[in-house]
Structure 1
Amino acid sequence: MLVGLGHVDLVCRDVERSLAFYASVFGPLGLEPPFVVEGERGEPIHYLRFPAAGSGSVGLRQALEEQEFELYAPGLHHLAFAVGSRDDVDAAHANATASGARVLHAPRLWPQYHPEYYATFFSDPDGFRIEVAASRDARL
């Protein structure tokens, strides 16, 4: 039986910069310090863990070459983080702004997703689109 998403790994141009960014944006909201495992090439993979058991993790890996992220190229479009309240969305937005993130959409309601769907969108240091959302319908 499928029970959820275990983890997603992102390939970063500068892992240390990305670790600092995610810690500054999501650390105050409960993101746990990363644990490190060895990848198939012997490289470290830094897994960012969420506070709720069974909620998965995000792995950060060092890129082998310098390359810009392209939003509509095959691959990842965006990564959405679920939070417990609109205040948490607002806090993530403030943390991202303070960290120098490029804000794509300030926090607001997105009724086309769900009547109570409240979210913000910004880019991480590699240009990955990050969404932070609070919704009564946790399936999105």
Structure 2
Amino acid sequence: MSEPGTLHHVELRVRDLAAAVEDWGWLLGELGYEPFQEWPDGRSWRLGPSYLVVESTPLGGGHDRRMPGLSHLAFHAGTRAEVDRLWQAAPAHGWSQLYSDRHPFAGGEEHYAAFLENAERFKVELVAEG
């Protein structure tokens, strides 16, 4: 039984499912998620009781994290060394490094994290423990 208030799932609509499977699949795999579901227009990955879905959008347009709506997803990403490893590896897997001039303290002096964005402008924050 899951704790009330915990996320059941998050669903992201994407223009390019193949690209999303590559970039999200890599990142989620690195964070411990396992492939969960697969259907012609989508995929999902699960970690514990929660899962993340990427699904082809039936409508045109694009996501812009700076517009009203979802800004980003923040994930616990392990130690500072693990966050640094993901930061370095991310560009080879479809993720751009954000705020490199302030990395790893773009979220503040007490907040060690890496900020990444993929080609569809979905942003993630990888937060170090402690």
- Amino acid in the other structure paired with 1:4: T
What is the match of residue 40 of structure 1?
A: none
What is the match of residue 78 of structure 2?
A: 84
| 43, 46, 55: which one aligns with 1:46 | 43
Distance in 2 between residues matched to 1:46 and 1:4, nearest whole Å? 21
What is the match of residue 15 of structure 2?
A: 13
Gaps of 5+ in 2: none
What is the match of residue 104 of structure 2?
A: 108
Q: Structure 1 vs Structure 2: percent identity of aligned residues?
A: 26
Report the aligned-residue RMSD. Answer: 2.4
Answer yes or no: is the 8 Å Cα contact 2:28–2:45 preserved in 1: no
Answer yes or no: is the 8 Å Cα contact 2:8–2:51 preserved in 1: yes
Gaps of 5+ in 1: 38-42
Q: CA deviation at 1:44?
A: 4.1
| 27, 31, 34: which one aligns with 1:32 | 34
TM-score (norm: length of structure 2): 0.79
What is the match of residue 119 of structure 2?
A: 125
Answer yes or no: is the 8 Å Cα contact 2:63–2:121 preserved in 1: yes
Q: How many corresponding residue pairs?
A: 126
Q: CA deviation at 1:47?
A: 1.4
